[in-house]
Structure 1
Amino acid sequence: MAVNLLIYLALMFCSQVDGQEAILHVSEGSTVREYCLVYNSSWSNISHSLTGAQSYKLVNLTSSPLCERGQLTPDFLLGQAVAVMPGECDFSTKAQVAQELGATALLVTSTDSMVTPSANDSEYRKVNIPLALMRHRDFLDILQVFSDGKEVRLYDPPAALFDASIIVMLLLAVFTVAMGGFWSGAAEKVKQTADPSADVNDEHSESSELSLYSPLKVLLFVGMMCVMLVLMYYFYRWLVYVIIVIFCLASATALYNCLDSLMTAVGFGTLSVSCRGKTLSVRSLLLAAVCITLAVIWGVYRNDDRWIWILQDLLGVAFCLNFLKTITLSNFKICVILLSLLLVYDVFFVFITPFMTSNGVSIMVQVALGPGAGGEKTDGKEVEVPGDFSPSYEKLPVVMRIPQFSSLAQNLCMTQFSILGYGDIIVPGLLVAYCHRFDVWIGNSRRIYFISCAIAYCVGLVVTFAVLLATKMGQPALLYLVPFTLLTSSILASVRKEFRQFWSGTTYHVLDDSRKPLLSDGKSGYADGVREC
């Protein structure tokens, strides 16, 4: 899944409209408000700083679409900005009429999604004043807050090349991978301490862990992921609700497991009560109530971008941690097969599928952001911003989201996020977890495999973000994370002359269902005292 999925650029040889989000600064005395604008920077020249922006009086003509001058005198709007309603004629006609009336800026209020205003080249040359779209509800707010003495300025602050949200995302991802790997290794150590013979067919082991040990199962797993992604692309409208329900259930369970294990680790006792012969744990009941409540709150307010990202990230971290603890890879061979296949899967659905889709956007980006994602390129050419602050479309809860701190204009239009998919945490995290379990198997108290692989993941993620900033283009993070983690682990095992054991995994092999367990004397398939020559 692509990291930090922002605006995915279409093919460079396609004609593009240079769309931008800007800010409408409204002031009257000490009262100041700012609102979202959408304009075409190749058509309208707007200042990049507030201090350099010209100040206008704002005239309300929203009772008219301003498609013709009518009874208005030529100097009626001299030196002023004018707000009008959309419709009945194109933007170019409205702007030309406003120019004839002496207006210095045109604001078109919109009740629908705001798409970059455009025209043909001949119309561009006829318009010399700034033209921008704003939300109609924002204009109503201006009328309610300010009197007729208000002044407006239009400006487009340049976006920062680097946003601090990337650092927060980096720390969150590395923490999750490291803690998930640590938890997996710690569980393996407890299992060995409790039962040195470590019978993998033990009922408790089967209920708490699921091991991927067969290449065929890995192929089936990746194949199912491909099919599911394609189905989500074509049937997003219905399947998104299935994923939301599954996420609520899975994240609540994962959060419960994480908190319960944490309380057990710190020595927090359990208070049990008996009722009709049954014993109930008060701690378990309280934890279950809290986890279910948090999952329900997320489900109800999942589209409120102002704050729900905090709860989604909390549930997401718990989901990833529990996944890394529960799903284990039996040996390095399985790690190589799984990570390599998912690398191909990631690159294909990010870089190759744009050539196959009608709108030039990759299947991965379309599914991750949702088909109605605002603030994104539409048809590879235009910027579209929802007319409402709360998007009406549903988004998949499969990403970590951190709001960007420096995108002032973009955040006014719609909160912009740095995004990292769960797959970019879980997939390399499975290898980190395997490295920690291998440290436990060979009795390495320094945990050199675990620490080295976790550092490699951190470096790979830094490289991913560096490429993202350099190319201004969403990246398939596994393209960098998989080589860094696999090569680091392989080189370390080779240098320590433990590669064969590292490749084969633990001596506690998981047997195929078709195989029979070994007898106590080491021979299989024969009764005591009966052997073939």
Structure 2
Amino acid sequence: MEINIVFIVILIVILSAGFVSAGDIVHQDNVAPKRPGCANNFVLVKVPIWIDGLENTEYVGVGARFGPTMESKEKHANHTRLALADPPDCCSKPRNQLTGEVILVHRGNCSFTVKANVAEEAGASAILIINNQTELFKMVCESDADVNIKIPAVMLPQDAGSNLENYINNNTRVSVAFYSPKRPAVDIAEVFLWLMAVGTILLASYWSAWTAKEVAIEQDKLLKDASEEFLQVGSAGSSGFVDINTMSAVLFVVFASCFLVMLYKLMSFWFVEVLVVLFCIGGVEGLQMCLVALLSSWFQRFAESFIKVPFFGAVSHLTLAVCPFCIAFAVVWAVYRRISFAWIGQDILGIALIITVLQIVRVPNLKVGTVLLGCAFLYDIFWVFASKWLFHESVMIVVARGDRSGEDGIPMLLKIPRMFDPWGGYSVIGFGDIILPGLLVAFSLRYDWLANMNLRAGYFVWAMTAYGLGLLVTYVALNLMDGHGQPALLYIVPFTLGTFITLGKKRGDLKTLWTQGEPERPCPHLQLQPLQQKD
């Protein structure tokens, strides 16, 4: 059990990326300020290709700071013939006559605005610049003078540009079009992701509260029938749970930050493969624990009979029966994780893992919960926003996307494909944005049940509602920021923690919630003593 806990805590609390994202197609850049004639946002541009009149493929480029804005609908984009520049860099007047073609040029030897001006004067209708790297580059205005360029300028990655050059050199007629479709205000994927996150916390909270109540009932029963020496024995049923303390809550920020920087610096294909292996180990453990808990009521005899297994100790027959399926499920996902519907397997493993962590790891009182969420609040904001000042890019977002790894992000995310988005991609949420506030929500339901409070008089409904509203506000901010990744805890923590503290103070329970974390319960053993003395 201790080894499993270590794996889960490392995977979830330290590796989890704490942000939500929908992928960004609009990029702001304060290093390249706007001025007249050079005031466009950097937008991704779709470049469909036709070969000899037949639609072939589609590349994605980035628009320049200068030139006219891109059409947002494909039907308004003109299909225009593509021609090679001569000279290739287009730093001087082309030798070939242009009559409204799109000109394909190489990057380098002069500024982007010089290339665009030369192409426009030569009669080109647009300029398509091939980058000298596989990534895209933001085309800015180098000089301080105002710019008056009236043709679109788009940059393509090196491999895409090389393919177009080869087509033209083989005497093939190539035509292109430019357009930059806008994302829908709300995608159905965000609704399902919200339901998934809220539902996961709901299930985990009820499991955690049910377990806590069963333990409390068992303790009361044992204490009622116990002798004096039995009272010296530690509380039964508490093993297997990890209560966070104030120090570990503070150290979370330090260890998580160090590990995040290590991921950022070492991000590569092989490093992501290691994360996939660790995720599968944690996913197998989580899925196995959830399935055993679910099936125990139907197969009680197998759940209560044990066999000794080397290195693992006593293991129930039900666990042994379920474990091969869990391992096979994780292995199949890992092998086929690049196919279009692999996100389903990733979400199943992730949800099972999150529920298991919320069952094992617990916040003992509101004081620890406040310290933990307060530290996570600062951690999330710094690594999503403030890290740009030190690393020139958002460390959290780079790690979550798996940049420089050749992979489609790290696996410690719940994700759903954006179904009605012309750009495709995924809406994602980091495990940390579910687990960390989920610890507080689960604590609220445990307190309600131990205090015999109904839903209306308790704290759980309010905490659950606050989490849902905080996550909803996060998605509103995400759409207002054109899909740029947002630190979800920036919005969730004030909602959940603020609601809990305010309600506890209003009801007069704040002192108990803050220090004890559970209502005072009369000891059955002590209640019986006066009766025994009378006899």
Q: Same fold (TM over 0.5)?
A: yes
Q: Which amino acid in the other structure matches residue 257 of structure 1?
A: M
Distance 2:309 2:256 in 1: 46
Partner of 1:529: none
SS in 2 for 1:418: strand
Query: Paired residue for 2:186, among 162, 169, 177?
Result: 162
The equivalent of 2:472 in structure 1 is 462
**Of residues 485, 489, 493 in structure 2, which corresponds to 1:478?**
489
What is the TM-score normalised by the length of structure 1?
0.74
Change over 3 Å in CA distance of 1:407–1:124 after alignment to 2: farther
Give secondary structure in 1 for the equivalent of 2:76: coil
Aligned to 1:294: 329
State the 1:325 CA deviation.
0.5
SS in 2 for 1:51: helix
Residue of structure 1 equivalent to 2:238: 205
Match of 2:319 in 1: 284
How many Å separate the matches in 1 of 2:31 and 2:243?
A: 47
Q: Percent identity?
A: 27
1:99-142 Cα offsets, whole Å, 9 max, x none, are 56644233345672222334534899585433323354588499
Shift of 1:149: 6.5
Structure 1 residues 107, 268: CA separation in 2 closer, same or farther (over 3 Å shift)?
farther
- Say if 1:364 and 1:99 are closer, same or farther in 2 by CA, change over 3 A: closer
User: Which residue among 52, 58, 74 is the counterpart of 2:76?
Assistant: 52
8 Å CA contact 2:66–2:140 kept in 1: the answer is no
Pairs within 5 Å for 1:109-128: 109=130, 112-121=134-143, 125=147, 128=150
Cα pair distance change 1:370/1:508, threshold 3 Å: farther
User: Which of residues 90, 99, 105 is equivalent to 1:78?
Assistant: 99
Q: 1:424 aligns with which of 433, 436, 443?
A: 433
Which residue number corresponds to residue 310 of structure 1? 344
For the residue of structure 2 that corresponds to 1:114, the secondary structure is coil
1:430 deviates by 0.5
Match of 1:226 among 257, 261, 281: 257
Classify the secondary structure of the residue corresponding to 2:176. strand
State the distance in 2 between where 1:62 and 1:309 align.
43
RMSD value over aligned CA atoms?
4.4
Contact in 1 for aligned 2:86/2:96 (Cα 8 Å) = no
Q: Which residue of 2 aligns with 1:3?
A: 20
Change (3 A) 1:143 1:277: closer
Which amino acid in the other structure matches residue 188 of structure 1?
A
1:350 to 2:409 alignment: no
Structure 2 residue aligned with 1:336, among 354, 358, 370? 370
Contact 2:48 2:55 in 1 (8 A): no
1:376 maps to which residue?
none
Which shows bigger deviation, 221-230 or 80-89?
80-89
Q: Give ranges in structure 2 of 5+ residues lacking alignment.
A: 1-17, 35-39, 224-230, 528-535
Closer/same/farther in 2, CA of residues 479 and 274 from structure 1, 3 Å limit: closer
Q: Deviations over 1:16-56 (max 9, x none)?
A: 67322112234577857543232215235432222322232
Structure 1 residue 330: Cα displacement = 1.6
In the other structure, the counterpart of 1:216 is 247
Report the AA paired with residue 165 of structure 1.
Answer: A
Name the structure 1 match of 2:517. 505
Unaligned runs of 5+ in 1: 373-390, 510-517, 523-533
Residue aligning to 1:21:
44
2:64 match: 40
Q: Deviations over 1:339-387 (max 9, x none)?
A: 22322333333343333x141x344334333453xxxxxxxxxxxxxxx
Aligned length: 481
Q: CA deviation at 1:316?
A: 1.7
Distance 1:225 1:201, change over 3 A: farther
SS in 2 for 1:400: strand
CA contact (8 A) 2:27 2:42 kept: no
Q: 1:352 to 1:122 in 2, by over 3 A?
A: closer
